[in-house]
Amino acid sequence: MSGDLLDMPLPYSVEEINAAKEATLKANNLTDAYIRAIAWRGVGEDMGVAAKRNPIRMAVAVWTWGSYYGDAKFKGAKLDIAKWKRPSPETIPHAAKAAGLYMICTMSKHAAEAKGCSDAMMFDYRGYVAEATGANIFFVKDGEVHTPKADAFLNGITRQTVIGMLKDMQIKVHERHIMPEELEGFEQCWLTGTAAEVTPVGQIGTYNFEVGDLTKRVATEYEKLVRS
């Protein structure tokens, strides 16, 4: 999907890519690892902005990676609020997972870490709550879950998995636009992502959240799912 959105049709099937992942894990003697497949246009006839005549290459990297947010799994991550906003879908292919789209995320995370935070929460171009720099975000209020509508940022696979899990638990999920002033009324918060998995959030700016029972349950159930 990302390749098509970026005008880079991949010359490999899903089966071939999965086989390459398995082979790379085996070659590195890893059974529990982070896997990253990356595609790019290689050397060819084009050396300018256009690159249609250059071949599309792919590589697979794997490595052992501990908790993305350190001990936040237990006490909740501390998030800054980024000065950068997720751009309008009219300016970027927001549904694609592409390295170039992470530039403002990298700068926002660097600024957050300089303040002693683990990450930063970003608003979108309209001022709605969007996501963290590399993870989607969820909130809990009165036993129901609220998460930003993925219309200006990447709809992560882990996000989709957790929404499915919540619905299986018979927990109401609201995918909607969330205003900044609503943060004060939410009781719990967590992040989801391939690296973040399900990570509780204890603080965003001046807003505080408890690492509550639902957050712990979702984190536990997700852990069982991916390591079963």
List the CATH number of the domain containing 88: 3.20.10.10
Q: Is the pLDDT of residue 73 over 90?
A: no
pLDDT over threshold 80, residue 10: yes
Q: Specify whether 14 is located in the same domain as 31.
A: yes
Q: Is the pLDDT assigned to residue 1 strictly greater than 80? A: no
Same domain, 100 and 171: yes
Whether pLDDT at 23 is above 80: yes
Report the pLDDT averaged over residues 85-99. 91
> Helix and strand tally (H, E) in the chain?
6, 11
Q: What's the rounded mean pLDDT across residues 69-75?
A: 73
- Proportion of the chain above pLDDT 90, given as a percent: 81
181 and 122 assigned to the same domain: yes
Place of tokens 């000065």: 83
The count of other CB atoms within 10 Å of the CB of residue 5 is 14
Instruction: Give the span between the Cα atoms of 79 and 190, in whole angstroms.
Output: 11
Tell me if 113 sits within 8 A of 101, measured CB to CB: no
Residue where one domain finishes, among candidates 13, 31, 63: 63
- Give yes or no: residues 136 and 218 share one domain: yes
User: Does position 164 have pLDDT exceeding 80, yes or no?
Assistant: yes
Domain, as residue range, for 46: 2-63
SS3 breakdown of the chain: % helix, strand, coil, rounded to 5?
30, 30, 40
Asked if the model's pLDDT at residue 66 lies above 80, the reply is: no
* Residue 178 shares a structural domain with residue 147: yes
Count: domains in the chain: 2
pLDDT band at 95; cut points 50, 70, 90 = confident
CA distance 121 to 31: 32
Nearest alpha carbon to residue 131 among 97, 166, 164:
97
Cite the active site residues: 97
Domain match, 81 and 180 both: yes
Across all residues in the chain, what is the average pLDDT?
Answer: 94
